[in-house]
A = this chain, B = another copy of it.
Amino acid sequence: MVKLSVVGILAGLDEEALTDVERHINRKNFSAGAQMIEPEADSSDVYLILSGRVRIVNYSLSGREITLEEIGAGGCVGQLSAIDGQPRSACVFAVDDTEVAILSPANFETVVKSHPSVGWNVIRELARIVRTSTRRIVDVSTLGANERVVAEIMRRAQQVSDDTGAAVLSPVPVHSEIAGRVSTSRETVARVMGSLGRKGLVNKVDNGLHVPDVRRLEEFLSESIH
């Protein structure tokens, strides 16, 4: 049985507190592809991801699907409705087989208010989402689709670049996942990645996508924009 201690927002709780939280959750398993949260359902439960991976998607007024985020083991989804009592803002699907611990909104609020460290963890997690969202709003408001793909690869490379200015994104980013993240089509991502490959800015290696010189990628993007 996966321990609750894998969950990021519960970090800092001692054994006794974790045992107490354990009494207030329901464990549930979802198969890959299953819908875990649907906007229409009248539920405000919080889902703590114990294992597996989930995708949060939203739909435009015209019905187009937009991937907001993918979240793996240790993450948390569904907290917005538990916090503000408003309807679900998005759908959540299991990408892989996924085990979750489900917390009712009342129990979520109790845990947050009884443990200052959990409250602070939730605040940090929401701040992370706000930063990511802000970056995306600015990108999608001001960059073309091709440039957003390059910017996404560039940012991921910047986060893992080594002393020599090279980076390996491992595993190789999935085109459909990048497409969802930057609000474009898989075909556009494939075309841009092909073009970056031909320019020698990225190349596939055994364990991932190799970016030999992150700085050159930054310059390439900067030239495309100005």
Binding site for B on A (CB under 8 A): 58-62, 64, 66, 68, 79-80, 83-84, 86, 89-90, 109, 112-114, 116-117, 119-120, 122-124, 126-131, 133-143, 147, 151, 183, 221-222, 225-226
Question: Chain B contacts of A142 at CB under 8 A?
Answer: 60-62, 64, 66, 183
A147 to B64, CA, bound (A): 15
Evaluate whether A222 and B66 lie within 8 angstroms (CB atoms) in the complex, with A119-B119, A127-B84, A134-B89 already known: no
Copies of this chain assembled into the complex: 2
A203 CB to nearest B CB, Å: 24
CB distance from A111 to the nearest CB of B (A): 11
| Chain B residue contacts of A221, Cβ below 8 A | 61
Contact, CB under 8 Å: A80 / B131 = yes
A208 CA to B4 CA, complexed, in Å = 53
Contacts A137-B183, A138-B66, A221-B61: A119 and B113 contacting too (C-beta < 8 A)?
Answer: yes
Q: A60: which of B68, B83, B129, B139 is its contact (CB, 8 Å)? A: B139
Report the minimum CB–CB distance from A110 to chain B (whole Å).
10
